[in-house]
Amino acid sequence: MSRRRWTLRRTLVVGAGLLVAAGLAVTCVATVLALRSFAYERLDQQVLESAEFAIGPRGPGGGPGGGDDGGPAQRVGSLVVIIQDDEIASATYTRDDGTDVALTDAQEQAIESTTFVNGEPVTIDLGGDLGQFRVAQKTSGDLRAIGGISLADLTATSTALTVILVFVAATTLLLVMAGLSIVVGRTLRPLDRVAGVAQRVAARELADGEGTIPERVEDADTDPVTEVGRVGNALNTLLGHVESSLAARHRSEERLRRFIADASHELRTPLASIGGYAQLSQSEGAPMTPTQERSFERISAEATRMGSLVEDLLLLARLDAGQPLRNDPVDLTLLVIDAVSDAHAADTERTWLLDVTGDEAIVTGDENRIRQVIANLLRNARTHTPPGTVVTTSLAIDDDAVLIGVADDGPGIDPAVRDRLFERFARGDEARNRDAGSTGLGLSIADAIVVAHGGALTVESEPGRTAFTVRLPR
């Protein structure tokens, strides 16, 4: 697992464990080195005493405590080499049972080839069964005495101590890691509870509605004295501010929806009156100047356009308010055929194709609203593509949905407009040619209707191909 993906608990336990392991390692190494240093000092002192004892005040064997043969009494595991006139006079090693054995020629050669500084012990390897020795030389005239003691005991003691220290350190480290895991786990429980609150809040859908947030950190986890308590207290404060902001936003949106719905409803009558009076004036046949005729034509046209805009706003307000739609069986095949036929009759400058595949496409919903979605998509293609464009309307059956597609080979949608294409009053004029004005509500209405049916409206666009796809559940 990557170090970046470690939890805080694992990081703390492993980090503290590594520090403890480093401390134990330093302690073990220092202990072993100190023991070896002390043991070497004692051994060197014994080696020097052995060399002095071997040469003695009266020559070889002249020291006190001589053996039965008049030679020096050697301790177990020691060797004594007497060199006179640069020739080895005697070279013996005392075994564990107290018997003396003579050194081999190779071992004597190893001693003769060693460079000694009088009174300074050195380490040599005699090989065979003897191994390493700590030896020192003492001289008296043409007489040299070399005393040595085997390093086997010191090495065995150091090895045993190292094994013991490693075992103790490993056991201690395991106990420390277990204790750290328990302590850190208990210490981080409040933080886990705070994180749980944050995760539950993050899982809430706050985009729509009042956006109430009932989750709060418990009082036990909001103690300002502790770091976790400060985080919990800050999270509670933040959630309170967010809840207040969401409530204020919801109230503002509700007021705006009511205003749009009321205004749209109230504007329908005067707009109808304006259009009616304009048509009445035109139908009287009374003489009018060209300016008056043009003015009445524009009044009638703009009244019709304003009426359509008011109807669109009123529909959006109702959809936003959650007004239920009809739930009737709807045959999409007939709707698609009718919509393409209407588009072909209304515009002969473009090629309108129909591609229907699959079995019977039946969904549950509001037939008039679904018809409006298809009509809006076809009107969008007619409005924003140049003459000669081929527009293909398709109908296909998926595993659990019906797909309605409207694709054209026009110039495509500007990427800067694509992300906000389904927003209200969004216009694609920068990317596609248009011959007529647009309110910018057609696609937002289509998207709202599809979402109200539990479906989704998506778009893919590139130069030479733009495809809208309506996905409705079967």
Can you give the pLDDT at residue 322?
Answer: 66
pLDDT at residue 34 in the model: 93
Question: Which residues have a Cβ under 8 Å from the Cβ of 48 and sit 6 or more positions away?
Answer: 119, 121, 136, 138, 147
- 328-473 under CATH 2.160.10.10, yes or no: no
Res 72: pLDDT: 46
Distance CA 362, CA 359 (A): 9
Is 292 in a helix, a strand, or coil?
Answer: helix
Contacts with 146 (C-beta within 8 Å, 6 or more apart), sequence order? 51, 54, 79, 80, 81, 82, 83, 111, 116, 135, 136, 137, 138
Strand partners, 139: 144
Calpha distance 391→438 (Å, rounded): 19
Give the residue among 397, 451, 443 at the shortest CA–CA distance from 420: 443
Cβ contact 109:127 at 8 Å:
no
Backbone angles phi, psi at 465, to 5 degrees: -160, 125
pLDDT tens digit sequence for 459-470: 888 888 899 999
Residue 121 near residue 135, CB atoms below 8 Å:
yes
CA distance 373 to 436: 19
DSSP 129: T
pTM: predicted TM-score of the whole model, two decimal places: 0.50
Inter-CA distances, 177 with 28, 167, 190, Å: 18, 15, 21
Cα–Cα distances (Å) from 63 to 44, 150, 399, in that order, read 20, 22, 109
Q: Domain residues of the chain, as ranges?
A: 8-156, 205-323, 328-473
Burial label for 407, CB within 10 Å (0-12, 13-18, 19+), is buried
pLDDT of residue 214: 85
417-420 LR contacts (CB < 8 Å, sep 24+): 418/459, 418/461
CATH dotted code for 205-323: 1.10.287.130
Compute the distance between CA of residue 364 and CA of residue 239 in angstroms, rounded to an integer. 40
- Distance between CA atoms of 194 and 216, rounded to whole angstroms? 9
Q: At what angle do helices 367-383 and 332-346 cross, to 10 degrees?
A: 30
Q: Enumerate residue ranges in the chain where pLDDT < 70.
A: 1-4, 56-75, 208-211, 264-265, 320-323, 358-359, 424-440
Specify the pLDDT at position 61.
46
Domains 205-323 and 328-473 share a fold: no
